[in-house]
């Protein structure tokens, strides 16, 4: 689609970071037609990263969570429809069918449907007091349950030692609640962190009073006579009392609409570097996507940066332009008073170098494969993080010895 005429109409399914970014990029790119942004939640677009941290801790109010107010979108000619569920996509008729039976026509379609938390298919898993965290209402319900746990002096159990689980655990500890984290793997954040950094984070949480159970095997949730969760039962028979259980074991892409419409999907909606799906009239952006790389492999990224940049790429594609998203991916996580900032993808790393003093709590871990720098994880070291992004974008690699030597000026590699 290359038209930017007033008769064109673009429908965006999903009113999160990727959907909003695509809509605004379309307007900035000169698109003059109708843009309709469909969200299935009752809220307008809001920021998701604070949900497991500041929002859950009660340190942020509703106004601060807002990403774009409806009136701001309206001024840009973007129609926001909340509480609107899409039932199906009709590619032949170029319409989306809504749950209320009505249909919206489109000349271009954007899928920004996000992802949903994975559930534990265990007995008692649907008891009240058992939550997964994805949206604002989830976070508010967890906050309410935490307040009840404080009142009734009940502990919290977090299932999953990934970013969401650990951020929730840190927030609960800040509130003074007893917390146990159950992780099935032998170490925390094992998919994304080097062993030395996994160990450092384990010690960080233990130092704040979190009980960690690694290699945990769960058999069921114990449910009280009131229908609420009372504990988590392990395979060995151990029961951990709990007034609140938060399940954070990853997410799955919301690609059901795309699959039903016959678009190529593989653990997400398959897109190229410009956000195009297997139908040139339809683009996708954000957590729902799996990006096809030059070597044929697929890359799934779940981050604000990915949603933002793919949204810009998708908008350009609908305007008949190529704007591939090729920048170094980056992520962050706040736990207690420590900020982890990650640049690059560490998969395949075979050795590491540490820059700075891990015991002082400000340092970076450089991931190498052979002599090539793959990624850098920085803890409370923002300068290192920004430098790492520049090095990775430029394809420059320090040696492990240079990375470990704080006296060596890494910026000299960019000269």
Are the C-beta atoms of residues 367 and 347 closer than 8 Å to each other? no
Task: Please tell me the pTM assigned to this model.
Answer: 0.94
Residue 327 pLDDT: 87
**What are the residues whose beta carbons fall under 8 Å from the beta carbon of 297, sequence distance 6 or more?**
none
| Token pair recorded at residue 370 | 């052979």
φ/ψ of residue 190, rounded to 5: -65, -25
CB-side neighbour CA atoms (13 Å) of 181: 33
Q: Helices 163-174 and 195-207, interaxial angle, to 10°?
A: 20
Report the alpha-carbon distance of residue 278 to residue 270 in Å, rounded.
7
How many Å apart are CA 130 and CA 241, to the nearest integer? 13
Return d(Cα 388, Cα 301) in angstroms, integer.
Answer: 19
Give the whole-angstrom CA distance, residue 415 versus residue 404. 20
Residues of the chain with pLDDT > 90: what percent?
97
Contact present, 300 and 36 (Cβ < 8 Å): no
Tokens 């384990």 found at: 202
The residue to which tokens 């044929």 are assigned: 296
Q: Which residues contact 35 (CB under 8 A, 6 or more apart)?
A: 9, 10, 12, 23, 26, 27, 77, 78, 79
Q: Residue 1 has what pLDDT? A: 44
* Structure tokens given for 198: 């996994």
Residues in the chain, pLDDT under 50: 1-4
Residue 4, pLDDT score: 45
- Beta bridge partner(s), residue 282: 109
Q: What is the pLDDT of residue 7?
A: 67
What is the pLDDT, as a whole number, of residue 24?
Answer: 98
Q: Contact at 8 Å (CB) between 400 and 353? A: yes
Whether the CB-CB separation of 104 and 80 falls below 8 Å is answered with no
Cβ burial of 272 (10 Å; 0-12, 13-18, 19+) is middle
**Rounded Cα–Cα distance for residues 96 and 103 (Å):** 6
What confidence tens digit (pLDDT) does each residue in 233-280 have?
A: 999 999 999 999 999 999 999 999 999 999 999 999 999 999 999 999
pLDDT tens, 140-192?
A: 999 999 999 999 999 999 999 999 999 999 999 999 999 999 999 999 999 89
3-state secondary structure the chain: CCCCCCCCEEEEECCCHHHHHHHHHHHHCCCCCEEEEECCCCCCCECCHHHHCHHHHCCCCHHHHECCCHHHHHHCCEEEECCCCEEEEECCCCEEEECCCCEEECCEEEECCCEEECCCCCCCCCCECEEECCCHHHHHHHHHHHHHHHHHCCCEEEECCCHHHHHHHHHHHHCCCCEEEEECCCCCCCCCCCHHHHHHHHHHHHHCCCEEEECCCEEEEEECCCCEEEEEEECCCCEEECCEEEECCCEEECCHHHHHCCCCECCCEEECCCCECCCCCEEECCCCEEEECCCCCEECCCCHHHHHHHHHHHHHHHCCCCCCCCCCCEEEEEECCEEEEEEECCCCCCEEEEEEEHHHCEEEEEEEECCEEEEEEEECCHHHHHHHHHHHHHCCCCCHHHHHCCCCCHHHHHC
Sheet holding 289-292, edge to edge: 269-271, 289-292, 298-299
pLDDT (0 to 100) of residue 114: 97
- Closest among 178, 11, 10 to 86, alpha carbons compared: 11
């Amino acid at each position: 689609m290359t038209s930017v005429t007033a008769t064109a109409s673009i429908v965006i399914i999903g009113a999160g970071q990727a959907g909003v970014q695509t809509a605004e990029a379309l307007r900035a790119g000169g698109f003059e037609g109708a843009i309709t942004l469909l969200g299935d939640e009752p809220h307008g677009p809001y920021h998701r990263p604070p949900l497991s941290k500041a929002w859950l801790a009660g340190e942020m109010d509703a106004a601060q969570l807002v990403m774009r107010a409806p009136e701001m979108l309206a001024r840009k000619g973007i129609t926001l429809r909340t509480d609107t569920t899409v039932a199906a996509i009709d590619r032949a008729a170029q319409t989306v069918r809504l749950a209320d039976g009505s249909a919206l026509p489109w000349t271009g379609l954007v899928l920004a449907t996000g992802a949903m938390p994975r559930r534990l298919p265990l007995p008692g898993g649907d008891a009240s007091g058992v939550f997964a965290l994805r949206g604002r209402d989830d976070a508010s319900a967890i906050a309410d349950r935490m307040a009840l746990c404080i009142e009734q002096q009940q502990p919290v159990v977090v299932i999953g030692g990934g970013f969401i689980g650990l951020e929730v655990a840190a927030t609960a500890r800040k509130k003074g609640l007893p917390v146990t984290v159950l992780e099935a793997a032998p170490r925390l954040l094992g998919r994304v962190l080097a062993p030395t950094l996994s160990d450092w984070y384990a010690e960080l949480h233990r130092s704040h009073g979190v009980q960690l159970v690694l290699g945990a095997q769960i058999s069921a949730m114990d449910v009280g006579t009131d229908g609420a969760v009372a504990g988590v039962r392990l395979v060995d028979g151990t029961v951990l009392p709990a007034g609140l259980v938060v399940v954070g074991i990853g997410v799955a892409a919301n690609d059901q609409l795309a699959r039903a419409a016959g678009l190529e999907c593989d653990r997400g909606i398959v897109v190229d570097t410009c956000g195009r799906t297997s139908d040139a009239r339809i683009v996708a952006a954000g957590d729902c996507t799996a990006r096809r790389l030059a070597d044929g492999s697929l890359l799934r990224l779940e981050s604000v940066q990915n949603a933002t940049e793919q949204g810009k790429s998708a908008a350009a594609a609908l305007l008949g332009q190529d704007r591939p998203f090729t920048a170094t991916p980056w992520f962050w996580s706040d736990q207690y008073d420590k900020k982890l900032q990650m640049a690059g993808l560490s998969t395949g790393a075979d050795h590491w170098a540490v820059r700075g003093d891990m015991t002082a709590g400000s340092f970076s871990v450089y991931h190498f494969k052979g002599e090539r720098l793959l990624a850098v994880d920085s803890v409370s070291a923002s300068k290192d993080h920004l430098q790492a992004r520049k090095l990775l974008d430029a394809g420059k690699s320090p040696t492990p010895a240079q990375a470990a030597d704080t006296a060596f000026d890494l910026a000299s590699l960019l000269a």
